[in-house]
Structure 1
Amino acid sequence: MKILVTGAAGFIGMHTAQRLLERGDEVVGVDNLNDYYEVSLKEARLARLAAYPNFRFVRLDIADSQGMQELFAAEGFQRVVHLAAQAGVRYSLANPHAYAQSNLVGFVNVLEGCRHAQVEHLVYASSSSVYGGNRKMPFSEHDAVDHPVSLYAATKKSNELMAHTYSHLFGLPTTGLRFFTVYGPWGRPDMALFLFTRAILEGRPIDVFNHGKMQRDFTYIDDIVEGVVRVLDQPARASESFDGLAPDPACSNVPYRLFNIGNDQPVDLLAFIEALEGALGQVANKRFLPLQDGDVPATWADTALLGQAVGFAPKTSVQDGVGQFVRWYRDYYR
């Protein structure tokens, strides 16, 4: 198939594109290579993809409406994996306009491109952050998500609503994937594992928020990619059991779906740090701080729907995943 992967220079984007290329798909990768974090890391990821003859890169901002329209008109994509976004919860507190441009305007451009090009299936990244103020665990797609606690979360919830509108109006099959704390080799420098590793190796203290009373459903990158590809291969269909008198947020009477992709095994933050200390052979100097604005104390993915739909659920342990990251980090940064 000919597949568009937006955010191809990103962490999840590179791994997803590589998986598709290895199985023989033609992949066009789009990214604007912004400087939210070190551009050299993004360029190194793209260099890995450039080794594949069936890969082509287009430098383009998804918020560029004209550019996106021309791209879709010229390429004739069969399917789209939309992973480009302005990421980060805390960054949204100080830079809200970046989220409006990338996550809202950019997503409309992707939807419009898919609509006019009659794309067979759009798979897009949502986030566990949409669960916001929810406290019932584990987080289920059947639960309402009407209480976001960050602008980032609000834009991801908006993406789900926008996708449903296009599924309803134009019959566009859309599937939203709520990712839970993704980590692994080639990860983002603004994520906890990367920050912790760099600080420990440099002899600096690490910031442990909510005084360490945090749980996260850490999900290894290979498991995320496996879920994305399996979902991509099964375009969304309308649910025969959908009841408009008691609507289920997880499905619809149009070709629209939502899935959690998480490990379904929440891990205490201090246990995660302990796994990192073991992989590094060094003990961290911990600086305990209050919970940050926009953050939540715990996440936990119910992955039953994903398992039923595609016969897969993430399973990589934190010890294995953290070990893989540390090996990559030492090699990449020498």
Structure 2
Amino acid sequence: MTTYCVTGGAGFIGSHLCERLLRLGHRVLCIDSFNDVYDYRIKIGNVLNSTGSTESLSFTDKQTDLQQLPSIVNRDNYKLVVADIRDRASVNAVFASESIDVVIHLAAMAGVRPSIEDPMLYEEVNVKGTMHMLEAMRRHNVRKWLCASSSSVYGNQKKLPFSELDVVDRMISPYAATKKSCEVMGHTYFHLFGIDTIMLRFFTVYGERQRPDLAIHKFMRMLDNGDELTLYGDGSSRRDYTHIDDIIQGMLGALHYIETEERVYEIINLGTHHTVTLIELVQTLERCSGRSANIRWMPDQPGDVEQTYADVTKANRLFGYDPKTDFEEGIARFVTWYRGERKW
């Protein structure tokens, strides 16, 4: 049984990954701070779902709920640690008390626009927090890790599709800059201390359990409530939307690759090699939800890239990555999930 430490394991991507690793018979050590970016109860729901817990939690207040949650979900093959990766002592305490085989580092402050408002917080969590993880790995002889990067590091480059060989020195948001910093620091620890590293550049992940602050979730909520949709630009901006199932398959492939190879430092795109415009996204949501959108158009916002488009040749070559989820099918599944889970 392999022990995987998953930071941000109560979040959207992290909870799906924890669930899959448990189903595969592994042990999961989940670290999450349950910060206030969105309602902490959503993350509690993610943890309960990902662990298959049959017990319920009567929500009272955040401190009490988070004190009770580990006693509900912890078992031999799963342990929840409520901790902030900015707290170096807490991170070291976890590594000192556990025998960890692989770290999957997903914890981060996400989002382009909020990073412009509070860049220092993004540096503190995404850069310093990542260094705390790397230092703990170095000190406790953990030599394998996957780290979440982002397609935002490509900025507004015109060359398409985006390849891992492209020069990425012109980020247009603090969030993107922190992710590039983590890629560089990952290589430093690979070179100096032999920590095998895969940096996964995720391309606009969507699907069941998606965070409520992300576009697809927000648009769906507005459609169902009959609210006006505020769209920025002229609707022609494009994204390479990647369903959570395909992301998890890619992460499992990357795990197998890094666990069976030595001296690994790789940057790898996980996308679909297919783009969808903003207006096509709204039209797909309309079809799948049976709702009509009332759109209010606004100028482009600072930090938003014009398009993302993943070249996934490398992921396919290294571990057979082959995304399967059709966009409309994925949106239909999200709509079904959203309408069934709104109580959270």
What is the TM-score when the length of structure 1 is the normalising length?
0.93
Q: Confirm or deny: 8 A CA contact 2:156 2:306 kept in the other structure.
A: no
1:94 aligned residue (112, 117, 120)? 117
1:231 aligned residue (229, 233, 254)? 254
The aligned residue for residue 19 of structure 1 is: 20
1:227-247 residue CA offsets vs partner (Å, 9 max, x unmatched): 011101221757xxxxxxxxx
Q: Which amino acid aligns with 2:118?
A: N
1:226-274 residue CA offsets vs partner (Å, 9 max, x unmatched): 1011101221757xxxxxxxxxxxxxxx531010000100111111111
For 2:301 and 2:102, locate their aligned partners in 1 and report how far apart those are by CA, in whole Å.
38
The aligned residue for residue 138 of structure 1 is: 161
1:311 aligned residue (310, 320, 344)? 320
Q: Confirm or deny: 8 A CA contact 2:156 2:307 kept in the other structure.
A: no
Q: Confirm or deny: 8 A CA contact 2:143 2:194 kept in the other structure.
A: no
Task: Report the count of equivalent residues.
Answer: 319
Q: CA deviation at 1:185?
A: 0.6
Q: Which amino acid aligns with 2:273?
A: D
Q: Confirm or deny: 8 A CA contact 1:177 1:259 kept in the other structure.
A: yes
Specify the SS of the correspondent of 1:188: coil
2:147 aligned residue (109, 117, 124)? 124
Q: Which amino acid aligns with 1:275?
A: T
For 1:97 and 1:147, locate their aligned partners in 2 and report how far apart those are by CA, in whole Å.
19
Specify the SS of the correspondent of 1:274: helix
- Work out whether 1:291 is the aligned partner of 2:314: no
For 1:207 and 1:221, locate their aligned partners in 2 and report how far apart those are by CA, in whole Å.
25
- Work out whether 1:149 is the aligned partner of 2:172: yes
Q: Confirm or deny: 8 A CA contact 1:177 1:258 kept in the other structure.
A: yes
Specify the SS of the correspondent of 2:146: strand
Q: CA deviation at 1:20?
A: 0.4
1:8-45 residue CA offsets vs partner (Å, 9 max, x unmatched): 11100000111101000000100000010111111110
Q: Which amino acid aligns with 1:110?
A: M
Farther off after superposition, 169-178 or 290-299: 290-299
- Work out whether 1:60 is the aligned partner of 2:83: yes
Specify the SS of the correspondent of 1:86: coil
For 1:87 and 1:64, locate their aligned partners in 2 and report how far apart those are by CA, in whole Å.
19
Q: Confirm or deny: 8 A CA contact 1:81 1:123 kept in the other structure.
A: yes
1:65-112 residue CA offsets vs partner (Å, 9 max, x unmatched): 011111112112000110000011100111112211110111001111
1:332 aligned residue (296, 317, 341)? 341
Specify the SS of the correspondent of 1:287: strand
1:35-57 residue CA offsets vs partner (Å, 9 max, x unmatched): 10111111110112343642110
The aligned residue for residue 2 of structure 1 is: 3
What is the TM-score when the length of structure 2 is the normalising length?
0.90
Across the aligned residues of Structure 1 and Structure 2, the Cα RMSD in angstroms comes to 1.3
Q: Which amino acid aligns with 1:285?
A: N
- Work out whether 1:72 is the aligned partner of 2:95: yes
Specify the SS of the correspondent of 1:211: coil
For 1:57 and 1:282, locate their aligned partners in 2 and report how far apart those are by CA, in whole Å.
39
Specify the SS of the correspondent of 1:295: coil
For 2:117 and 2:99, locate their aligned partners in 1 and report how far apart those are by CA, in whole Å.
38
Structure 1 segment 151-300 matched on structure 2, within 5 A = 151-235=174-258, 255-300=264-309
Q: Which amino acid aligns with 1:149?
A: I
1:257-309 residue CA offsets vs partner (Å, 9 max, x unmatched): 01000010011111111111011101111111221100011100000000000
Specify the SS of the correspondent of 2:258: coil
What residue ranges of structure 2 are gaps of 5+ in the alignment?
54-74
The aligned residue for residue 30 of structure 2 is: 29
What residue ranges of structure 1 are gaps of 5+ in the alignment?
239-253
Specify the SS of the correspondent of 2:127: helix
The aligned residue for residue 51 of structure 1 is: 52
User: Identity across aligned pairs (percent)?
Assistant: 42
